[in-house]
Amino acid sequence: MVPADPAAPMSDDAAAGNVDPPARARRAPVVAISIALIALFGGSTLFLSGYTLGRQAAAGPGTPAALRTDFQPFWDTYQAITDRYAGGTVDRTALVQGAIRGMITSLGDPFSAYLPSDEYRASLQGISGQFEGIGAEIASQATDGTQGCTPLGPACLLLVTNPIPGSPAERAGIRSGDIVASVGGASLDGLTLDAARDRIRGPKGSVVTITLERRGSPALTLSITRDVVQAQEVESRTLASGSVGYIRLAGFSDAVADDVVKALQAHLAGRRANLVLDLRGNPGGFVTAARKIASQFIASGPIFWEQDAKGTQISTDALGGGVATGPDVRLVVLIDGGTASAAEIVAGALQDTKRATLVGRQSFGKGTVQQWQELSGQAGAFKLTIARWLTPDKRWIHKIGLTPDVVVALPNPIPSGVDPDLDRALKLLGRGPQGAVFQAAA
């Protein structure tokens, strides 16, 4: 979304690791085991689950006279603690941070939050597409084969879906299908997917010990030195004997849009006007990338609307000059419960404008926009819900999600080597079943 204040960063919060996708998802957003390089994208709008990157606010002159009565209990408490607390030394910075956290928490909004400085920077992970970690992708999978379970435990396993080529994970011998049993000698039972990721990721040069279970082999313990890893966010290939172009997006980092344009140009140059855009498990990212990608298929008009706290609605329109706006281009978009935020902006725009057929299951349903605002004195930052985003037809999908045009019911368990969503997409495009499974990545 376009921020109300262009100088402040925004997001639409579902994927930046702040909100776990619902259990209804067939595949939860796959999480890269890594820490993003710290990168502050000032003035950029994000839709990882609804962010903008916020700017530092000007310091206030003190409590306004009209609010002194309301704030007196706060100042009385602060003064009593700093003057009379006898339990130990009072950390004034921690006291102020706790007060800020309490104010944000009192809103009861799961998408608004306060983070200290280090955590704030760590929360921006993945935006740049570069990470510090071991370079593996993981997902939670129940013992019956369905993905997206939580918490981890005997019936909900942490599965490696893909070691990124050239990464420390690949060099150490980690394989797709390996089960992560423990990290640093500690069990993962009771953790969410994000919490497990946090245990595995870490700065370049540090070492993490991971115990893996592999079918037909004894448990394997590996010590892996973390490094900088480039995430693979765009996968492009041909299907159905070269007659269909397939593009999978794992996120919406700054460089993704250009990679998608190149992939589209290659498919169209190869006379592949039947396309599949796979947004399953995609948690979102930069809204600027979402706008550019949607604009490759939509020639003009709104891509989405933003509605602020006063009810004012402003549209963000197609950029023009898209490479796949012609009527000969037939597009199917795959979505599921892990499709969130910026990915929902793209899917919703393509659905409302009748430029694509949506196939799969209900998307995540993240329809609010958060703005990060940095605080002075290294106090960190807070993320506040400041707007709603709506589809071109002004639908608000928050807590609802996008309903596919073609709903695909998945068998339980899903047979190995089968992708019912992709098979249905190929049938809609007049092609036969593909039969291969394509994992989503983050």
Whole-prediction pTM value?
0.71
Q: 141-158 pLDDT, tens per residue?
A: 888 877 778 899 999 999
Q: What is the DSSP letter of 153?
A: B
- The percentage of the chain sitting over the pLDDT mark of 70, rounded to a whole number, equals 82
341 flagged as catalytic? yes
Instruction: List the catalytic residue out of 366, 419, 421, 423.
Output: 366
Summary count for the chain: helices (H), strands (E): 9, 23
Q: What is the pLDDT of residue 17?
A: 32
**Distance from C-alpha of 360 to C-alpha of 192, rounded to nearest angstrom:** 25
In degrees and rounded to multiples of 5, residue 348 shows phi and psi of -65, -40
Q: At what angle do helices 92-105 and 68-84 cross, to 10 degrees?
A: 140
Strands 357-360 and 406-407: what pairing?
parallel
**Distance from C-alpha of 94 to C-alpha of 72, rounded to nearest angstrom:** 20
The end-to-end CA distance of the chain, in Å, is: 21
109 flagged as catalytic? no
Strands 274-278 and 330-335: what pairing?
parallel
**Distance from C-alpha of 316 to C-alpha of 294, rounded to nearest angstrom:** 11
20 flagged as catalytic? no
Q: What is the pLDDT of residue 125?
A: 58
Highest mean pLDDT among 185-199, 224-238, 398-412, 422-436: 398-412
Mean pLDDT (whole number) for 296-324? 97
**Distance from C-alpha of 272 to C-alpha of 265, rounded to nearest angstrom:** 10
- Pick from 20, 31, 11: nearest CA to 343: 11
Q: Across-strand partners of 180? A: 212
Q: What is the pLDDT of residue 321?
A: 96
pLDDT over 80 at 127, yes or no: no
pLDDT over 90 at 418, yes or no: no
Instruction: List the catalytic residue out of 336, 352, 419, 423.
Output: 352
Instruction: List the catalytic residue out of 341, 363, 383, 421.
Output: 341
